[in-house]
A = this chain, B = another copy of it.
């Protein structure tokens, strides 16, 4: 029998894809192994544990999100950049709810943790959005937390089907971008 030719990256990618399909909590070692044409214990040749796998998925998400943000923000500034960043994050979370869920509830070990570094690069992109707004440097960290909380909150509630009412969610999203843009523009005067 030929070998499966797996490595940690392939396992992580398959797990992320499976999570998007069936939900992160249904990504069992058995199901993942079956999808990879392998038995469950074999996975431990590539990953340490399920917690390690979650961590790797979270790292993948941070890298993917960072890449998409950097791409989307090229040549944009101000309201345009804000809208692009918001849309990019929202689309990503809606498209990849399973892998995004892996980013919740994990502790960062140290400042040189690759996960912390990848997360920092995402934050840098959000900071770049803010740089188009002329904000008091003392307030930048607050504005950053605003964007992060809002994007994360909105997308997770939407991904879990939390917006019950029939009013169009897209419309709310655009209204929200407007609201933040206006507020940040005010602050800069």
Interface residues of A (CB under 8 A from B): 25, 104-105, 107-108, 116, 139, 141-142, 145-146, 148-154, 156-157, 160-161, 163-165, 167, 169, 171-172, 175-176, 179-180, 182-183, 186-187
Contact = CB atoms under 8 A, between A and B. Distances in A.
B107 A161 contact: yes
B183 A146 contact: no
Given A107-B161, A182-B183, A148 B141 contact: no
Contacts of A152: 153, 156-157
Contacts of A163: 145
Contacts of A150: 146, 149-150, 153
B148 A167 contact: no
Contact of A116 (B149, B164, B167, B183): B164
Contacts of A156: 104, 152-153, 156
Nearest to A152: B153
Contacts of A171: 142
Given A145-B176, A149-B154, A151-B153, 16 more contacts: A25-B105, A104-B156, A107-B161, A141-B167, A142-B176, A142-B179, A146-B172, A146-B175, A146-B176, A149-B149, A149-B153, A150-B150, A153-B154, A156-B156, A179-B187, A180-B183
